[in-house]
Structure 1
Amino acid sequence: MKDLFDFILRFGSLNQQQMDLIASKATELHLPKDEYFSEAGKIARQVGFLVDGILRVCYYNNKGEEITKYFIDENNLVVDLESFDNEICSSSYVEAVTDCKLIVFQRKDWLELLQTIVGWDAIVHKITSRALIQKVERRSPLVSEDATTRYLKFLEIYPNAVNRIPLSYIASYLGVTQSSLSRIRKNIR
């Protein structure tokens, strides 16, 4: 719980009573590798905070190929925001790349926190804005750079994750084949 509050308090302040209320609404979730936190075709009904592990957000394109959009590592919130906020079916999967430990809030509890805690909505907005900016910053170089540069950028963005993520997922994220990624890795060693 300490990691969650350290994270939240970077975006605003809370008193002890407010933190106690947040803690009372949270549950711990152990998500085994390859299990889904949320799934395409279903409505996202929970917000998570990733304490330990790596998640990936992926979807299937119109050819049936699995495409990795991005990864989520420790000390980040996890939610399919569009699905969660608008109660619509998600178009993506959030899958555990490793065994994961999360602190989870069910939708009704999250909404209650938004209605009860003064300033909670502002904190959540700052966290969401930061996440969206990060997502754009992480994806933008992948569009215009060559594969080697994209891989080097990946190493910069996810320095603690590279040895914990299967090469097939990294290749999918970078938009290259697994054999191309192997060649790139061999050439930069």
Structure 2
Amino acid sequence: MTCRVVLVAPAITPSLRRARFDDGDSIENPGAVALALPAAGRAVSSPSVRCRETAAALGLDASVEPALAGLDAGRWRGRTLEEVGAAEPQALVRWLSEPGAAPHGGESVREFCARVTAWLETAGGTAGRTVAVVEPEVVRAVVLHALGAPETAFWRVDVPPLTATEVTGGPGRWNVRLGQVGGRP
């Protein structure tokens, strides 16, 4: 049984433009959101406003999946990376370099990756295609898991807005498909 999961990063928001930890803002220009997606048996979304709005703008009737929530940045939520770096430079460096660190009082990268991996392995038991509109860090966690890459590589995966990444396979064996989703030109 092969499972396909298409991970779609949300549309741009003012927070993303300012490198601000998600503060619940809406996507910019929802009418301009467009992405060719293959037909799917089910659609899910991270609980954030930007993911739900992106899913709706893409015409998906997505159910909210709490396990796909973004990385909990604790007290840094709503602040820019620059602000955090100025106020807590050592804490920021530690968080970006040590997957088990959570100096912000939220979730560590390690904890986050474990949560996302658990969801993927469960979803992998379902045949067919799932389209998931998820936070960029969810895409990072899935790619690391699929490739067997270390958590220290988490911040080295760039996920631009409105890009799709597909993983295929099933529990314990995933492949990352680059290029056009579904392999069509």
Scaled by the length of structure 2, the TM-score of the pair is: 0.29
Work out which of the two has the higher radius of gyration on C-alpha atoms and give 1 or 2: 1
Higher strand share: 1
Higher helix share: 1
Higher relative contact order (CA 8 A, sep 6+): 2
Scaled by the length of structure 1, the TM-score of the pair is: 0.29
